[in-house]
Amino acid sequence: MEFGTTFIILAIAFGFFMAWGIGANDVANAMGTSVGSGALTIRQAVIIAALFEFAGAFLAGGEVTQTIRKGMLDANMMAATPELLVYGMLASLLAAGIWLLIASYFGWPVSTTHSIVGAIVGFAAVGIGMEAVHWGKVGTIVMSWVVSPLLAGSIAYGLFLSVQKLIMDTSDPFANAKRFVPVYIFLTGFVITLVTVFKGLKHVGLELSALESYLLAVVAGLVIAAVSQVYIRRIEIDPEADQDFHFTNVEKVFAVLMMVTACAMAFAHGSNDVANAVGPIAAVVSIVENDGAVAQKSVLPIWILILGGVGIVIGLITYGHKVIATIGTRITELTPSRGFAATLAAATTVVLASGTGLPISTTHTLVGAVLGVGLARGIAALNMRVIRTIFMSWVVTLPAGGLLAILFFFILKGVFSG
């Protein structure tokens, strides 16, 4: 294929830029609740996120990547003109990366999934033809954007009420926190192990039966809970601390739990959102290597997953602090117990979506979960002005990604085919 090497170099550069944008904007969602609630310092959050985002992307990132790459467009329509698909994928990566850079600059938590889906649909509808887009698939994805915040919000609402009932509203909240928090930690460990086994171990060539998978998840959950129990036992009650805020000592127990849920959320996010950056790179590499043949399904080379994982980590370290501030402190006031409910609910939702191959938006899920926790305390606990800005930025994301992608598509087409 003419210009094949140039296309691969561009795909790597634009894909890395997109992955950087995911790190700057989206990973902040995974860490925002932990930092905002005071359970982690920003430095601790960056280290945890770097490790677990990369692990999630590398081990469990393959499944969702398929949906983004082959479900959206009719590859057969492009069999005669594979270069158009290459221009489109390059334009989509660059468009989504630029939009994420703008949103991160303003501290808006937007959806990276929205950005790339909007970009791909935009270039395909205008550059190739409306019939090239699988509108049914797009419809399913749009549905998931409504379902995921509602589902996460409902789970968070339920979790937060269970915390209120079992711990906060009892005669001895501190003792009950020590008793019940390990149960919540077990749940977290169980959910995350399950997604790793079902998704990630296939890449490494390990095949386990459903029963073995569930048993492994139970064991992992128990181990994580046991290790956390050691830390929880060491927490001593400090009578002075409770004078200003009645539950300060209880929240110390939840801070241990937030460490676990932060790892869980980072892993779930890495597994779900690396697809947004690596899917289009894989499509370009596959077309170039097959001399222009557009395959419906192509093997995802490991180096592309690693590239995506590294890009995400660098984005978080260099530019993630702005969105962390929005999620962590500006929507509603978070404490470790509230942050835990939001994070576990969001991680569970992402895991469920990852299992069904639905490219949901981690951002929408987490904001939905934080709203759910805020609502459990009454509508006055929410900062409606910030929420309005966030919703507006969500609405703008699809057309912004689409319009930028159309512009870059025609520029690339002019340069290489002109």
- Asked if the model's pLDDT at residue 215 lies above 60, the reply is yes
| Span 321-348, average pLDDT | 79
The answer to whether residues 75 and 296 touch, using CB atoms and an 8 Å cutoff, is yes
Count of other CB atoms within 10 angstroms of residue 214 = 15
The predicted pLDDT at position 200 comes to 57
Q: How far apart are CA 255 and CA 189, in angstroms?
A: 16
The predicted pLDDT at position 318 comes to 85
The predicted pLDDT at position 388 comes to 87
Q: Which of 196, 98, 56, 160 is nearest to 400 (CA)?
A: 98
- Asked if the model's pLDDT at residue 412 lies above 60, the reply is yes
Q: What is the pLDDT of residues 64-74, one digit of tens each?
A: 555 555 567 77
3-state secondary structure the chain: CCCHHHHHHHHHHHHHHHHHHHHHHCHHHHHHHHHHCCCCCHHHHHHHHHHHHHHHHHHHCHHHHHHHHHCCECHHHHCCCHHHHHHHHHHHHHHHHHHHHHHHHHCCCCCHHHHHHHHHHHHHHHHHCHHHECHHHHHHHHHHHHHHHHHHHHHHHHHHHHHHHHHHCCCCHHHHHHHHHHHHHHHHHHHHHHHHHHHHHHHHCCCCCHHHHHHHHHHHHHHHHHHHHHHHHHCCCCHHHHCCCCCHHHHHHHHHHHHHHHHHHHHHHHHHHHHHHHHHHHHHHHHHHCCCCCCCCCCCCHHHHHHHHHHHHHHHHHHCHHHHHHHHHHCECCCHHHHHHHHHHHHHHHHHHHHHCCCCCHHHHHHHHHHHHHHHCCHHHECHHHHHHHHHHHHHHHHHHHHHHHHHHHHHHHHHHC
Q: How far apart are CA 281 and CA 14, in angstroms?
A: 8
Average pLDDT value over all residues in the chain: 82
Residue 332 phi, psi (nearest 5):
-155, 160
Assigned token pair, 299: 């093997």
Assigned token pair, 150: 């509602």
Assigned token pair, 307: 């590239």
The predicted pLDDT at position 15 comes to 93
The predicted pLDDT at position 242 comes to 60
| Span 59-85, average pLDDT | 70
Residue 73 phi, psi (nearest 5):
-120, 155
Note down the domain range covering 343.
Answer: 4-417
Q: How far apart are CA 406 and CA 418, in angstroms?
A: 16
Assigned token pair, 101: 């850079």
Assigned token pair, 352: 């469920």
How many domains is the chain built from?
A: 1
- Asked if the model's pLDDT at residue 206 lies above 70, the reply is no
Q: Picking from 3-12, 71-80, 395-404, 407-416, which range would have the lowest pLDDT averaged per residue?
A: 71-80
The predicted pLDDT at position 138 comes to 79
The predicted pLDDT at position 17 comes to 96
The predicted pLDDT at position 204 comes to 55
Contacts of 94 (CB under 8 A, 6+ apart): 14, 17, 18, 404, 405, 408
Contacts of 145 (CB under 8 A, 6+ apart): 111, 114, 360, 361, 364
Q: Picking from 13-22, 36-45, 391-400, which range would have the lowest pLDDT averaged per residue?
A: 36-45
Q: Which residue has the higher pLDDT, 2 or 205?
A: 2
Q: Is the pTM here over 0.75, yes or no?
A: yes
The predicted pLDDT at position 102 comes to 94
Give 52's pLDDT tier (boundaries 50, 70, 90): confident
Kindly state the percentage of the chain with pLDDT values over 90.
17
Q: Which residue has the higher pLDDT, 102 or 62?
A: 102
Contacts 24+ apart (CB under 8 A), 304-308: 304/15, 304/278, 305/57, 305/58, 305/61, 305/62, 305/274, 305/278, 306/58, 307/12, 307/15, 307/16, 307/19, 307/278, 307/281, 308/15, 308/19, 308/57, 308/61, 308/274, 308/277, 308/278, 308/281
Burial class (CB in 10 A: 0-12, 13-18, 19+), 383: middle
| Span 159-179, average pLDDT | 89
- Asked if the model's pLDDT at residue 343 lies above 90, the reply is no
